[in-house]
Amino acid sequence: MTENEVRIGVLALQGDFALHAKALVRCGAEAVEVRKPAELATCDGLVIPGGESTTLLKLMDEWGFVPAIEKFHAEGKPIFGTCAGLIVLAREVENPRQFSLGLIDVTVERNAYGRQRESFEASGAARLDGPPAPLEMVFIRAPRIRRVGPGVEPLAEHRGEPVLARQGTVLVATFHPELTEDTAVHRYFCDLVRRAQAAA
Ligand code: GLN
């Protein structure tokens, strides 16, 4: 794939946005921190990082990000949500039920690994534009994807459950790919953004 320059926003309201920006730059993209909806206009893609989904939602609502992100998605621009970012993008959220954007047809359960396993690392294999390749995954108070709709393609599993999945231009991970050296998942997202930009 040609490395045409793409500009990817990282929602910087809360949570661990700086490491996402670093990973995107390592993949040859330009990364910008997004704090106001108007800043989305110049972005070709958007990362919604992990953090605390209730806090993230409150800030998104205050700043008017809900309609702005819906419009961004409707324009065909890719969005990547990790952990709390996945929770806000899901169709349905449990434990407890809460508002979400519904841009990917999955049901997620928050904080679903229990207190004993608040954070842990696991290795698995991811199918990212090629044969399955090993992937290290860091889970922090992670949600579990309890249901995937028919249009959703699982791209990696942990103990038989999807932990990385895509529906069209929306990519989600229950883990934190920005916390490992391996940039495979960010590279995959950058390629998605390049393809969407080329098709626009
Ligand atoms: N436990 C958080 C939530 O439910 C998500 C954790 C994370 O993003 N690392 O919102």
Catalytic residues: 83, 176, 178
Give the number of the atom of ligand 1 that is nearest the alpha carbon of residue 85.
8
Structural domains for the chain: 7-199 (3.40.50.880)
Distance 198 CA to ligand 1 centre (A): 33
- Digitized pLDDT (tens) for each residue of the chain, 200 residues in all: 445 689 999 999 998 899 999 999 999 999 999 999 999 999 999 999 999 999 999 999 999 999 999 999 999 999 999 999 999 999 999 999 999 999 999 999 999 998 767 899 999 999 998 899 999 999 999 999 999 999 999 999 999 999 999 999 999 999 999 999 999 999 999 999 999 999 98
φ/ψ of residue 5, rounded to 5: -65, 125
- Statement: the pTM of the whole predicted model exceeds 0.75: yes
Q: What is the pLDDT of residue 3?
A: 55
- The secondary structure of 57-116 as a DSSP string is HHHHHHHTHHHHHHHHHHTT--EEEETHHHHHHEEEEESS-------EEEEEETTTT-GG
* Residue 155 near residue 191 (C-beta atoms within 8 A): no
Distance 110 CA to ligand 1 centre (A): 7
